Amino acid sequence: MIRRWLDEPRNRRRAAIAGAALALLLVLAAFRLTRRLAPGEVVVRRGPLDSVVSVGGTLVPERSDVYGADVPGVELKILWLAEEGALVRAGDPLIRFDPAPFQKELEAALQRIRELSEESEQSRLAVTSTRLATRGELRDAETSAQAAQLDLTAFVNTTAPLSAEESGHVLEQRQREADEARSKLEGLAPFVEQGYVSQEEYRTARNRAQQAEADLRMAERQHAALVHQTAPDLLQQKSAENTTRQIQLGIQREKTQSQVAQAQAGHRLAEVKRDEAKRQRVEAERKIARCTATARAPGLVVYGEIFEKTGERRKVRAGDSVWGGTSVVALPDLSRFLVEARVPESEIHRLGPGQAARVRLDAFPDREIPAVVRRVGSLGTSEKNESRTFPLILSMSQSDPRFRPGMVARARVSCGSIADALYVPVEAVRVEEGVATCRVVSMGRVRSRPVVTGANTSQFVQILRGLREGEVVQIGEN
């Protein structure tokens, strides 16, 4: 019989095999349809697969201003605080600190300004007085120097030449008188011997000639002394006096400049001191103004925390003293909120900025708010079970005056969708030594079968190869 079956044409054998296989599949399908699933068994399904990552977090304001003691290095006492939880508008007061330390600084600065203003005025008057006094002394020195210069110029151009000319005329006159007397004496000598001229007359002529000669020698000596000694000595004397006057004028000018500059320096120093006192006044007024902190934008009043001496933290309150730079009040803006969440390390590769999300708040469970992934953190932290999570920031597109920072939020981030996917629950896939397998239930027996996986969500895994729609697989550790 087997030989006859083998001897039949090949097409008939193939048809018989196909028919037997089809019958077997129909039997298996009928078995699966009639067989009820046991606990821990699921059916391989086909259909659309939405890739979604679910995360939980809290609401935080997108912007939050911080207010505190805005005077570094000083401890200030809080006199008054806006009520915590109150909604304030821009310009509303938030904190009032005790301005007493700065009011003392202001009073001291004002007193110093008054004193230094008087000192500045006195120094200004001193500059004016010095200028007037030195101006007179300088004018006297300039007059003396001008007189000496004029005297020298007059001597050189007028007195000395005229004196020399006058002395020359006198010398010429004495020379003529001596020549006339000598000529007259020589003319009388022949007549004396003849007796025409008396001896007395001759003696008189001779005395006149001798006197004329003596006057001539005197005029010559006077002229020589004037030209060679008196005039040069006077010229040297007047030149030296002129030089001295010019030097004294230069010294007086330098002295005047020095005295005026010294007075001006004193005035400038007084003004610098006064300006510094004014700056201290402005600084004290600025510190006093900073003792009242007002809201720069609308928001919700949230008190900061400080450490007790015991090391415990508590909310600030009126009467506390805080140092500059300490945060006293935070003012979160309630018009824009973010969701701060943590995403497991196994899901982070599926998330990125710009992905759409839907957010629900525990306080408003019936309201779903659109959101967008703004940032996926790069630094992970270890949880108690040693798994690592990474920060995830979602930006909400809607807000509500009733929303408050710290509200619990739950978000579903859409990571894409597959229109036609073969998928099983994530618990149905096991990975052993790098090979993914599923435990397939067939004809009452369970066999491990390798599979190739694709996309996955937090609940399902896409199966690319290894399983067929409708097959039954086991989940869990069964």
pLDDT one-digit tens code per residue, 144-190: 889 888 988 987 888 888 888 888 898 899 899 888 888 887 887 78
- Whether pLDDT at 28 is above 80: no
Predicted confidence (pLDDT) per residue in 430-450, tens digit: 988 889 999 999 888 899 999
Q: Is the pTM of this model over 0.85?
A: no
Q: Residue 423 has what pLDDT?
A: 93
Chain-centroid distance of CA 4 in Å reads 102
To the nearest whole percent, how much of the chain has pLDDT over 90?
Answer: 25
Q: What CATH number labels 102-290?
A: 1.10.287
Q: Return the pLDDT at 216.
A: 85
Q: What pLDDT digit, counting tens, does each position of 83-99 carry?
A: 988 888 999 999 999 99
| 216 or 379, greater pLDDT | 216
Element (DSSP H or E) covering residue 413: strand 408-425
Distances (CA, A) of 252 to 135, 144, 149, 352: 10, 12, 17, 86
Q: Does residue 35 register a pLDDT over 60?
A: no
The CA distance from 119 to 266, in Å, is: 10
- Integer Cα distance of 98 and 184 in angstroms: 126
68 with 303: CB under 8 angstroms?
no
Residue 270: both structure tokens together: 């007084």
The topology under which CATH files domain 30-62+333-474 is: Elongation Factor Tu (Ef-tu); domain 3 (2.40.30)
Cα diameter, the chain: 225
Task: Return the HEC string of 297-328.
Answer: CCEECEECEEECCCCCEEECCCCCEEECCCEE
* Confidence band, pLDDT 50/70/90 cuts, at residue 37: confident
pLDDT at 22: 55
Does residue 477 surpass a pLDDT of 80?
Answer: no
Percent of the chain with pLDDT over 70: 91
Judge contact between 383 and 374, C-beta under 8 A: no
pLDDT in tens, 262-286: 888 988 998 998 999 999 999 999 9
The CATH 2.40.30.170 domain(s) of the chain lie at 30-62+333-474
Q: How far is CA 304 from the centre of its chain?
A: 28
The structure tokens 């402005």 sit at 282
pLDDT of residue 15: 58
Alpha-carbon span 336 to 323, nearest angstrom: 31
CB atoms within 10 A of CB 346: 13
Query: Dihedral, CA atoms, 106, 107, 110, 115, nearest 10 degrees?
Result: -140
Kindly tell me if the per-residue pLDDT of 4 is higher than 70. Answer: no
At 294, is the pLDDT very low, low, confident or very high (cuts 50, 70, 90)? very high
- How far apart, in whole angstroms, are the C-alpha atoms of residue 189 and residue 428? 180
Q: What is the pLDDT of residue 368?
A: 92
pLDDT value at residue 478: 53
Q: Please give the pLDDT value at position 27.
A: 46
Reported as a single tens digit per residue, the pLDDT across 59-85 is 999 888 899 888 877 888 999 999 988
Instruction: Reduce the secondary structure of 17-42 to three states and give it as a string.
Output: HHHHHHHHHHHHHHHHHHCCCCCCEE
Return the number of other C-beta atoms located less than 10 Å from residue 177's C-beta: 18
CATH 1.10.287 in the chain, residue ranges: 102-290
